[in-house]
Amino acid sequence: QKEVEQDPGPLSVPEGAIVSLNCTYSNSAFQYFMWYRQYSRKGPELLMYTYSSGNKEDGRFTAQVDKSSKYISLFIRDSQPSDSATYLCAMRSGNNRLAFGKGNQVVVIP
């Protein structure tokens, strides 16, 4: 079983819809959870960073962490064509390396 599972998609949604992304993981020691957005031929850009369980909201983005279920989510409200990108979940325990999901390609159709 991979440490982090993320359905690679692709996921196509109409403009204005809510985009829902999620990852599951197997390592219960993970404490730090991140979502990155990566445009083609660019490096990943940090969107959300959470520690332990709970919700975090930043503008149109909401991140949820459920450590009991080993499940994290990212929601994008009022999606825009500029949100079309690959979204990577990542997580780590302590000072260890990041474990990444495979990335989920999102296409927002105007």
Partner 1 sequence: GAVVSQHPSWVICKSGTSVKIECRSLDFQATTMFWYRQFPKQSLMLMATSNEGSKATYEQGVEKDKFLINHASLTLSTLTVTSAHPEDSSFYICSARQDSNQPQHFGDGTRLSIL
H helix or E strand, kind and range, residue 38: strand 32-38
Q: H helices then E strands: how many in the chain? A: 0, 11
How far is Cα 61 from Cα 26, in angstroms, rounded to an integer? 25
Site string for partner 1, 9-48 (x = CB under 8 A): -----------------------x-x-x----xxxxxx--
* Binder of partner 1 out of 23, 88, 106, 108 (CB under 8 A): 88
Instruction: Give least dist CB 33 to partner 1, A.
Output: 9
Residues constituting the chain: 110
Question: Interface with partner 1 by CB under 8 A: which residues?
Answer: 32, 34, 36, 41-46, 49, 51, 88, 90, 94-95, 97-98, 100-103
